[in-house]
Amino acid sequence: AGIRAKVEHPFRILKRQFGYTKTRYRGLMKNTAQITTLFALGNLWMARRALRKA
C-alpha cells in the first residue's frame, strides 16, 4: 500500500492542481507532450519547498 500511495501522488497533483481530469483526444504527439509537461510541472510542485530554500 505504501508503494501505491507514492505512485498515486503525482496523478493526484495533476488532477487537483492542474485540472487534468479528462483526456482530450488531439493526437498521440500532442497528448504525450501535454502529459509530459504536466508531469514536469507536477515535479516542480512537489519540490517547491526545497526550491524556495535554495
What is the domain range of residue 15? Answer: 2-53
Q: How far is CA 44 from the centre of its chain?
A: 9
What's the rounded mean pLDDT across residues 44-49? 88
Residue 2, pLDDT above cutoff 70: yes
27: left (phi over 0), alpha (psi -120 to 50) or beta: left
What's the number of domains the chain is made of?
1
Answer with the residue of higher pLDDT: 49 or 20: 49
pLDDT tens, position by position, 14-44: 888 877 777 677 788 988 888 888 889 888 9
pTM: 0.65
CA distance 26 to 44: 25
Per-residue pLDDT at 54 = 66
Tell me the CA distances in angstroms from 22 to 1, 34, 52, one per residue in order. Answer: 26, 12, 31
Q: What is the dihedral of CA 29, 33, 39, 44, to 10 degrees?
A: 170
